[in-house]
């Protein structure tokens, strides 16, 4: 949910009550993420791949740097097994 221009977050919502609870803030100016089979989140930012584990209480952790070969990417998807990741990359201005 984008609260405003700078405060973006990933929320969970109760289907019964409609109550929303922030899970984690997104990385700066990033909005697309994927959920791994183990419940962790993946998100890209400035060509780097980050992972967040909701059960850890820690912040996003950089797990890979693709900036020298892909530039930046913003779309990300993971298959059901969690052993393949697809990313959409771009150079220059974000499409």
Structure confidence at residue 76 as a pLDDT band (50, 70, 90): very high
Structure confidence at residue 30 as a pLDDT band (50, 70, 90): confident
Instruction: Please choose, from the candidates 90, 59, 73, 70, the residue with its C-alpha nearest in 3D space to the C-alpha of residue 29.
Output: 73
Bridge-based pairing state of the strands 20-25 and 9-13: antiparallel
CB 72 within 8 A of CB 92: no
Integer Cα distance of 24 and 31 in angstroms:
12
Integer Cα distance of 47 and 4 in angstroms:
24
In percent, the amount of the chain with pLDDT more than 70 equals 93
pTM: 0.86
């Amino acid at each position: 949910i984008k609260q405003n221009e700078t405060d973006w977050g990933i929320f969970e919502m109760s289907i019964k009550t409609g109550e929303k609870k922030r899970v984690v803030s997104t990385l700066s100016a990033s909005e697309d993420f994927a959920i791994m089979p183990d419940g962790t989140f993946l998100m890209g930012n400035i060509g780097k791949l980050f992972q967040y584990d909701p059960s850890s209480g820690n912040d996003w952790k950089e797990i890979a740097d693709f900036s020298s070969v892909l530039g930046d990417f913003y779309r990300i998807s993971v298959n059901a097994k969690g052993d393949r990741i697809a990313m959409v990359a771009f150079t220059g201005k974000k499409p």
